[in-house]
Amino acid sequence: MTVLPVMKMGRPILRERAVEVADPSDPQIAALAADMIETMEAEEGIGIAAPQVDVPLRLIVVLPIVERAQKKQAPPEPLVVINPEIVPLGDELVDGVEGCLSIPGLRGDVPRYRRIRWSGFGLDGQAIGGEAGDLVARVFQHEVDHLDGVLYLDRMRDLRSLGFVDALEGEDGQTPDDPAERE
């Protein structure tokens, strides 16, 4: 397994629609997923999409972590979803803080559906799916957006919540305006 370079905002691949994976059970897809998981873990991310490692395929990894506060617990198994689809459950949108491995150092508030139903295929080629809420639903929406060339900045309703992580957390020597942004 290999930690792959993460494409940063500005790379055209992050603005293009990724294409469906023809054969989810292809061993090359399993190898890519393993590298994506290793890359996500090396970057301390909670999700990653194939275009972020310069592969224009519809494949995402989601760490189904329930709360950021539970980070100290053993991490859950990463969920690999090939050709993912998501459908909102209800109209409720909630703002939450997001960052992106392709936009390092920044965080901002992004509205997302609170609950979703997701579906797709696993590495064995079998159909998989389920429901997700809150942070996991947020990560799904963020990663599927990557497959459509959408970045979280595009979804922000108020760019004034955008900031550098170290400034938001007061680690630049200043007092943070909003300590609730900590994660």
- For binding to Ni ion (CB under 5 A), which residues are involved? 100
Q: Which is nearer to Ni ion, 104 or 130 (CB)?
A: 104
Of the residues 67, 77, 143, 171, which is catalytic? 143
Q: How far is the CB of 117 from Ni ion (least distance, A)?
A: 21
CA neighbor of 94 nearest in space, from 111, 107, 109, 108: 111
| Cα separation, 178 vs 164, whole angstroms | 13
- Are 16 and 115 within 8 A, CB to CB? no
Which residues are within 8 A (CB) of 166 and not within 5 positions of it... i.e. 6 or more apart?
105, 172
> Which long-range contacts link 52-56 to residues 24+ away (Cβ below 8 Å)?
52/6, 52/7, 52/14, 52/101, 52/102, 52/146, 53/4, 53/5, 53/6, 53/7, 54/4, 54/5, 54/7, 54/11, 54/13, 56/13, 56/16, 56/18, 56/19
- Of 182, 146, 128, nearest to 57 by C-alpha is 146
Of 127 and 159, the one with the shorter C-beta distance to Ni ion is 159
Provide the minimum distance between the beta carbon of 87 and Ni ion in the complex, in angstroms, as a whole number: 21
Is 143 a residue of the active site? yes
**Residue facing Ni ion at closest CB distance:** 100
CB of 143 to Ni ion, least distance (A): 7
For 158, the 3-state DSSP assignment is coil
Q: How far is the CB of 102 from Ni ion (least distance, A)?
A: 5
Enzyme catalytic residues: 143
